[in-house]
Amino acid sequence: MDEHTVTPASVKAYLAGRPFALRALDVLRRRCYLISRLVGRPAPVVVIAHRWSDRSAAHRVAHSLEHDWMEAPESSRAPYDQILLRAPDLVVLQLRRKNVCGCLGHRHILVRESPFAAPHEIFGPAAIGEVDIAFEQIDAWHPLPLSDTAIDVKFLSGSRQREFHERQFRLKVLSVFMHELNHLVFPPEPEASVLGRSLEFYREALESYAARALSTVSLTLDRSPSRLRL
């Protein structure tokens, strides 16, 4: 039995079951909802609210929640245990290209995304929260200039560098999302502490990814001569 009233399936059913006029309005506004969650965690269900033209970015965000989170070392995820335990059952993640204020993300005091702004029977007493993240600004952001560059130079060769930059982007997205979730769950926690936690998650996850990726690079190089001899 799932004790959580909000599941990806119930959110999907709710969105699909809304009156035709409301769904038509979503189409007119080119508003789309991608349902995701941090793998291995029953809550929160994350609804990535985005514009149709940003669907590729929305899928990259979903990938970070569904894959990169679990691949990050346990020690980097553990500081978020209490935050995730207290997180709302459903979190609307508004995906934006840019924030005019220049911030990478915000927690919202009120839920503004229209399908989730008013209480709905289907969600019962479930708590709903909302954050936003600005993915173009996140892409241009260098959280840890020195160590990012040090790892970057190790991936100078073509395709692996693209792969590295993609992973780096997704881990930055995850770090900003966890940062805003932290603010949402523990509003009084000082910024320095929230920031320290999210940067440390990013640093550890990126270093662990780089160590794994670089070890497979050398493995491929080591094996190629023997393959040639066959």
The distance of closest approach from Cβ of residue 220 to Zn ion in the complex, given in angstroms and rounded to an integer, is 40
The distance of closest approach from Cβ of residue 190 to Zn ion in the complex, given in angstroms and rounded to an integer, is 9
Site string for Zn ion, 184-213 (x = CB under 5 A): -------x----------------------
When the beta carbons of 119 and 196 are compared against Zn ion, the nearer one is 196
Q: Which stretch binds Zn ion (CB under 5 A): 14-22, 77-85, 110-118, 183-191?
A: 183-191
Angstrom distance (rounded) from CA 200 to CA 221: 32
The distance of closest approach from Cβ of residue 152 to Zn ion in the complex, given in angstroms and rounded to an integer, is 25
List the one residue out of 141, 144, 115, 146 whose CA is nearest residue 128.
115
What's 123's DSSP letter? G
When the beta carbons of 10 and 182 are compared against Zn ion, the nearer one is 182
Site string for Zn ion, 135-174 (x = CB under 5 A): ----------------------------------------
Angstrom distance (rounded) from CA 104 to CA 96: 10
When the beta carbons of 99 and 161 are compared against Zn ion, the nearer one is 99
When the beta carbons of 121 and 191 are compared against Zn ion, the nearer one is 191
3-state secondary structure of 70: helix
The distance of closest approach from Cβ of residue 120 to Zn ion in the complex, given in angstroms and rounded to an integer, is 30
What residue is closest to Zn ion based on CB?
191
The distance of closest approach from Cβ of residue 182 to Zn ion in the complex, given in angstroms and rounded to an integer, is 8
Q: Is the dihedral of CA 36, 97, 144, 213 positive or negative?
A: positive
The distance of closest approach from Cβ of residue 140 to Zn ion in the complex, given in angstroms and rounded to an integer, is 18
Per-residue HEC secondary structure of 27-56 comes to HHCCEEEEEEECCCCCCCEEEEEEEHHHHH
Site for Zn ion in 63-92 (CB under 5 A): none
> Could you tell me if 24 and 136 are in contact, meaning their C-beta atoms sit under 8 angstroms apart?
no
When the beta carbons of 54 and 180 are compared against Zn ion, the nearer one is 180
Q: CA 54: distance to chain centroid?
A: 15
Q: In what order do the strands lie in the sheet with 31-37?
A: 31-37, 45-51, 90-96, 128-134, 105-108
Q: Which residues bind Zn ion (CB under 5 A)?
A: 191
